[in-house]
Chains A and B, each alone.
Chain A
Amino acid sequence: DTAVSQTPKYLVTQMGNDKSIKCEQNLGHDTMYWYKQDSKKFLKIMFSYNNKELIINETVPNRFSPKSPDKAHLNLHINSLELGDSAVYFCASSQTPDQPQHFGDGTRLSIL
């Protein structure tokens, strides 16, 4: 059983489109995160939710909007995709905000 699962695994789309990435965790964790990993493998946090409430919102364009319908899900919607959005997006979860994080396998987003 996959603990943190993301869909889709690969996403290829054109500039200007709107797309969503879904994340689900079956670990019973309270806290979920979105990270962006660029082409140089640098991993940077974007958002963090605890019990469906936003607790971290790093400097991310407002074209990116996270949505947490329940504690087990944190989806990422991206409007008006740009070339610079091409990256691997990782979802993660932890029991509480101060516990170690468990990562999904990433969604590889390519903008044409």
Chain B
Amino acid sequence: QKEVEQDPGPLSVPEGAIVSLNCTYSNSAFQYFMWYRQYSRKGPELLMYTYSSGNKEDGRFTAQVDKSSKYISLFIRDSQPSDSATYLCAMSVTGANNLFFGTGTRLTVIP
């Protein structure tokens, strides 16, 4: 079993839709949780960084962590065609070092 599981998609939604992206994990020691966005032929770009359980909001993006269920989510409100990318979840035990990544979910937002 992989440390981090993520549905690879692809996921297609119409512009303006609410998108929900999810990851599950097996290591209960993970405390730091991140979401990265990766455009084609580019490196991952940090979107959200959270510690332990709870919610964090930044503009149209909301990250949720449920440590009891070992489940994290990223919600994108009012999705735009520019949100079309691969979204990677990542997590670690100590800080942001030694990250364990999911395989990424490919999202397409259709105008």
Q: With a CB–CB cut-off of 8 A, which chain A residues contact B99?
A: 45, 101
Q: B-side binding surface: helix, strand, loop or mixed?
A: loop
Interface residues on A, range: 20 to 34
Question: In the bound complex, do residue B95 and residue A103 qualify as a contact, i.e. CB atoms below 8 Å apart?
Answer: no
Q: Which one, A11-19, A35-43, A63-71, is touching chain B?
A: A35-43
Interface residue tally for chain B (C-beta within 8 Å):
23
Q: Do A31 and B97 have beta carbons less than 8 Å apart?
A: yes
Contact with A along B79-107 (1 / 0, CB 8 A): 00000001010100011111101011000
List residues 18-52 of chain B with CB under 8 A from any CB of chain A.
Answer: 32, 34, 36, 41-46, 49
Bound-state CA distance A43–B32 (Å) is: 17
A102 cross-chain contacts in B, Cβ below 8 A: 46
A34-59 residues with Cβ-Cβ distance < 8 A to B are: 40-45, 48, 55-56
Interchain CB contact under 8 A, B98 and A98: no
